[in-house]
Amino acid sequence: MLTCKSLLIKHEPAWDLATRHPFLDNCKSGTIQPGQFNTWLVQDYLFVTVFTRMAARLLAVAPVAHFDVLLAGLSALKDELNWFREKAAERRLKLNTPMQESCRRYCQFMEDVSLEPYAVQAAAFWAIELAYNQAWQLPGAMVKPYNEFAERWGNPGFTEYVKLLEKQANEALIAAVPEIQQRTERVFLEVAELEREFWEMAFAV
Ligand code: HMH
C-alpha cells in the first residue's frame, strides 16, 4: 500500500536532494550572499501566491472532514504572504518581479496538479510543505537573520500541521486504485526535483 512514509523511504535520494542544499548550509553559517538570499525571497513569495491558489483548489475537492486542517493552512498562508511582504520591504526588494524559469516551472506544475484526483493533490500539497519543514531544519540552528526563516517552516506548530497533512493524504491514498497511486508517486518525484531546482535557481545568482 502506498503511504507518504513509503514514498519518503523509496525515494530517499531524490528527497535528500530536495531538502539539503548549500544554499541552506550557507544560511546556517551566514555566508549566503545577499543577492542569492534576496532572489530566493522574492521568487518564493511569487511561488507562495500560486501555492495559495493550489491550496484553495485542494480545499474545493477535499472531503468535509479534511476542511479544518486545510482552512488552518489557508489562514497560515495569509500570514505568510504578509510576512513575505514585510521581509521584502525591510530589504527594499520589489515583489512585482518576473518569475525565473525554475519558479515558473514549479508554478505550472501546481496548476497542472489541480487536474489530478484529490489523493494526488493531497499528497503533492503535503510533500511541498514537508520539503520546507525539513529543509529549513536539517542544517541545524541558523545565524541571524536567517534563523527567522528557519523558524517559520521549522517550528513545532508547522511540523504538527505537516503531520496532519500526511494523515489526510494517507486517508485519501488508502482508497486510491493502483493507477492513482502510480500518479502520486510520479507527482512526489516531480516535487522533489522542482524543490532541488528552486534552491539551484537562487544559488546560481
Ligand atoms: C519552493 N517549496 C517552496 N517554497 C515554499 N514556500 C514551500 C515549498 C512551502 O512550504
Quote the ligand 1 centre to 161 CA distance (angstroms).
14
From first to last of the 205 residues of the chain, give the pLDDT tens digit.
899 999 999 999 999 999 999 999 999 999 999 999 999 999 999 999 999 999 999 999 999 999 999 999 999 999 999 999 999 999 999 999 999 999 999 999 999 999 999 999 999 999 999 999 999 999 999 999 999 999 999 999 999 999 999 999 999 999 899 999 999 999 999 999 999 999 999 999 7
CB 107 within 8 A of CB 99: yes
Cis peptide bond upstream of 156, omega within 30: no
Name the closest-CA residue to atom 2, ligand 1. Answer: 128
Quote the ligand 1 centre to 48 CA distance (angstroms).
7
146-183 pLDDT, tens per residue? 999 999 999 999 999 999 999 999 999 998 999 999 99
Quote the ligand 1 centre to 129 CA distance (angstroms).
6
Question: Mind giving me the DSSP string for 150-195?
Answer: HHHHHSHHHHHHHHHHHHHHHHHHHT--HHHHHHHHHHHHHHHHHH
Backbone angles phi, psi at 96, to 5 degrees: -85, 75
CB 107 within 8 A of CB 53: no
126-135 pLDDT, tens per residue? 999 999 999 9
CB 136 within 8 A of CB 21: no
Mutation pick for ligand 1 pocket among 27, 53, 83, 132 (CB with most ligand atoms within 8 Å)? 132
**Rounded Cα gap, residues 157 and 49, in angstroms:** 22
Which atom of ligand 1 is closest in space to residue 198's alpha carbon? Answer: 1
**Rounded Cα gap, residues 31 and 159, in angstroms:** 27
Pocket of ligand 1 (CB under 6 A): 44, 47-48, 128-129, 131-132, 195, 198
Give the amino acid at 46: L
What pLDDT, on a 0 to 100 scale, did the predictor assign at position 20? 98
Question: What is residue 141's DSSP assignment?
Answer: S
Question: Which residues span the domain enclosing 160?
Answer: 4-91+100-204
Domain at 59, CATH number: 1.20.910.10
What pLDDT, on a 0 to 100 scale, did the predictor assign at position 1? 85
Number of domains in the chain: 1
Query: What residue has cell string 520539503?
Result: 131
Name the closest-CA residue to atom 9, ligand 1. Answer: 129
Question: What is residue 92's DSSP assignment?
Answer: T
